[in-house]
Amino acid sequence: MIHEHNTRSKYNLHTQFCNITLFQKSVLNMGVKLYNFLPSKIKKLDDFNRFKKEVKSAWLNNSFYTIEEFLQSESV
C-alpha cells in the first residue's frame, strides 16, 4: 500500500523510474504495472488463492495479445 488513508491509489504499488529500457521491460517493473492496473476489488482480496483465481478469470474473459493492449484497455 502507498497510503494508510483512503485514496483512489491506496492499494497501488510504487513503480521506480529509470531511463534504461532493460529495467522498464523487466519482470519486476512490468509486474508492478500489471498489478496496479487491476481493479481495486481484486487488489483488496486477502486470500492469495482467491486473488489468483480472480486475476486469471479477469484475464481469460478478455483476450489480450500483448501487454500494451492490456494496459490500454478500459475494462479488466
CA distance 73 to 76: 7
Q: Taking the model in full, what pTM does it have?
A: 0.62
pLDDT tens track for 46-65: 999 999 999 888 878 877 77
pLDDT tens track for 34-50: 888 888 889 889 999 99
How does DSSP assign 11-60, residue by residue? Answer: TPPPPPP-S-HHHHTSHHHHHHHHHHHS-HHHHT---HHHHHHHHHHHHH
